Amino acid sequence: MPNPKHLTERIFQSPSKYIQGPNAIKNAAKYLDAMGRSPLLAVDDLVYDIAGKGLVEALEKAQFKVTRGRFGGEASTQEINRLVTLGRESQADFVIALGGGKVIDSAKNVADILKVPVAVLPTTASTDAPCSALSVIYTDGGEFEKYTFYDKNPNLVLVDTSVVVKAPARFLAAGIGDAIATNIEARQAKYSANFGGLLPTDLSEAIGAKCEEILFKFGKQAYEANKAQALTPAFEAVVEANTLLSGLGFESGGLAAAHAIHNGFTAIHAMHGLMHGEKVAFGVVSQLILNGADTAELDRYIGLMLSVDLPVTFEQLGIPNVTDEELRAVAHLSCAPGETIWNMETAINEDIVFNAIKGANAASVSYIKRTGFKKE
Ligand SMILES: [Zn+2]
């Protein structure tokens, strides 16, 4: 059925090019050729050793002048300013992000300030950061600070699955947690402005649905393949779901409660070791509770998340003794003005959200008891 609210301007946005496949980094020079000659490469030391050296070699062979910007680990204003200074000093004409979500979020911001193009080369399929025209900025202490928006999406996203399959399977699972939120959040945000500032198009709805379909069909299989470092069709499909479909889907479809509750959880210090998608996974269960999902539907999502070892209970989140007071602080932060939780079609206030979070834990604990679920 056509969306009856679609008599106004709608928007869909995406990167100009997306390339994914085994050994794609070897061909990076060919794809980056149109972007400039002097890239600033944002990368942390660990990733530099794994994939950075190979990339720099390939680029230097093709006459690129690469300046290495050592990334310190947090997508914070201070870190971004440091990289901007380095980019100015080296007269970088484009920026390359090599690594996970935080280096990608930082590099996109750096490129925006320097007014140069950015190429994103994710080395994990752990977030949907690569494709979007926004970054999540944190304080130096790792607390959620704000979303920053850019005029343009990254010019190029290049995913080398031979590198991604070598990352710990926990990263892929976190990406699944982030990606499984795409469809359920977009469904709630259907009548709200997306991250492009207008209502979503029908395409983003289709992307969210396809993303979810792939995860339910191949998520577990891809997770196991990742553990064995096996580059299989299922693994490729889930990398695409986590990176491209989730990225396009959340940006042009919109977010709702799952991500807002994730942002709320950054208030709890004991959870700072968890990955973005791990907290979003719990946010997904919480949002389903807010939506009044029936037990069969809840079980389907909880079952998928447990099958890839995503945390769905307070205990699994590492906060077995969390207090009501702490959870009320999470609910408070989740309901901040401008948060995506206000895209929900259900009634929202701090008390409702506090109860949904407790209800999510209870539903997951009950699932585990009922099914006798045990970690493999
Ligand atoms: Zn996310």
**What is 226-255 written as a DSSP string?**
HHTT---HHHHHHHHIIIIIHHHHHHHH--
Confidence of residue 6 (pLDDT cuts 50, 70, 90): low
- The residue with greater pLDDT, 327 or 5, is 327
In the predicted model, what is the mean pLDDT of residues 74-93? 96
pLDDT at 246: 97
pLDDT at 73: 86
- The CATH class that applies to domain 169-371 reads mainly alpha
Confidence of residue 3 (pLDDT cuts 50, 70, 90): low
Question: How far does the centroid of ligand 1 lie from the alpha carbon of residue 76, in Å?
Answer: 17
Question: How far does the centroid of ligand 1 lie from the alpha carbon of residue 364, in Å?
Answer: 21
Q: Looking at the DSSP assignment, which residues form a beta bridge with residue 17? A: 156
The dihedral region occupied by 327, where left means phi > 0, alpha psi between -120 and 50, and beta the remainder, is alpha
Q: 345 is written with which tokens?
A: 């079609």
Please determine, for residue 5, whether its predicted confidence score (pLDDT) is greater than 80: no
Please determine, for residue 1, whether its predicted confidence score (pLDDT) is greater than 60: no
Average pLDDT, the chain: 95
Please state, in angstroms and rounded to a whole number, the distance separating the CA atoms of residues 231 and 76. Answer: 34
Question: How far does the centroid of ligand 1 lie from the alpha carbon of residue 136, in Å?
Answer: 9
Question: How far does the centroid of ligand 1 lie from the alpha carbon of residue 243, in Å?
Answer: 10
Cβ neighbors of 363 (< 8 A, separation 6 or more) are 285, 289, 295, 298, 302
Please state, in angstroms and rounded to a whole number, the distance separating the CA atoms of residues 84 and 62. Answer: 25
Q: 175 is written with which tokens?
A: 């990406």
The whole-model pTM stands at: 0.94
Question: How far does the centroid of ligand 1 lie from the alpha carbon of residue 37, in Å?
Answer: 32
- The residue with greater pLDDT, 295 or 127, is 295
Confidence of residue 128 (pLDDT cuts 50, 70, 90): confident
Give percent of the chain with pLDDT exceeding 70.
98
pLDDT at 32: 96
In the predicted model, what is the mean pLDDT of residues 349-360? 98
pLDDT at 272: 86
**What is 56-88 written as a DSSP string?**
HHHHHHTT---EEEE--S---HHHHHHHHHHHH
pLDDT at 4: 59
Question: How far does the centroid of ligand 1 lie from the alpha carbon of residue 12, in Å?
Answer: 18
Give percent of the chain with pLDDT exceeding 90.
91
pLDDT at 62: 96
Whether residue 78 contacts residue 139, with contact meaning beta carbons closer than 8 Å, is answered with no
Whether residue 284 contacts residue 180, with contact meaning beta carbons closer than 8 Å, is answered with yes
Q: Looking at domain 18-164, which CATH architecture does it have?
A: 3-Layer(aba) Sandwich (3.40)
Question: How far does the centroid of ligand 1 lie from the alpha carbon of residue 98, in Å?
Answer: 18
The burial of 162, by beta-carbon neighbours within 10 Å (0-12 exposed, 13-18 middle, 19 or more buried), is given as: middle
Question: How far does the centroid of ligand 1 lie from the alpha carbon of residue 232, in Å?
Answer: 25
According to the 3-state scheme, what is the secondary structure of 139-191? CCCCCEEEEEECCCCCCEEEEEHHHHCCCCHHHHHHHHHHHHHHHHHHHHCCC
Question: How far does the centroid of ligand 1 lie from the alpha carbon of residue 316, in Å?
Answer: 19
Whether residue 265 contacts residue 271, with contact meaning beta carbons closer than 8 Å, is answered with yes
Confidence of residue 7 (pLDDT cuts 50, 70, 90): low
Please determine, for residue 2, whether its predicted confidence score (pLDDT) is greater than 70: no
Please determine, for residue 195, whether its predicted confidence score (pLDDT) is greater than 80: yes
Please state, in angstroms and rounded to a whole number, the distance separating the CA atoms of residues 57 and 51. Answer: 10
Residues labelled catalytic: 178, 259, 262, 276
Whether residue 125 contacts residue 159, with contact meaning beta carbons closer than 8 Å, is answered with yes
Question: How far does the centroid of ligand 1 lie from the alpha carbon of residue 196, in Å?
Answer: 16
Please state, in angstroms and rounded to a whole number, the distance separating the CA atoms of residues 308 and 178. Answer: 13
In the predicted model, what is the mean pLDDT of residues 163-175? 97
Cβ neighbors of 160 (< 8 A, separation 6 or more) are 21, 22, 23, 24, 25, 51, 121, 123
Confidence of residue 36 (pLDDT cuts 50, 70, 90): very high
Question: Cα Rg for the chain, rounded, in angstroms?
Answer: 20
In the predicted model, what is the mean pLDDT of residues 319-331? 97
Please state, in angstroms and rounded to a whole number, the distance separating the CA atoms of residues 1 and 267. Answer: 41
Please state, in angstroms and rounded to a whole number, the distance separating the CA atoms of residues 164 and 339. Answer: 32
In the predicted model, what is the mean pLDDT of residues 16-38? 95
Count of CB atoms situated within 10 Å of the CB of 66: 19
Out of 110-119, 139-148, 227-236, 327-336, least confident range: 139-148
**Which is nearest to 363 in space by CA: 301, 308, 279?**
301
Tell me the domain boundaries of the chain. Answer: 18-164, 169-371
In the predicted model, what is the mean pLDDT of residues 293-319? 98
Please state, in angstroms and rounded to a whole number, the distance separating the CA atoms of residues 131 and 247. Answer: 5
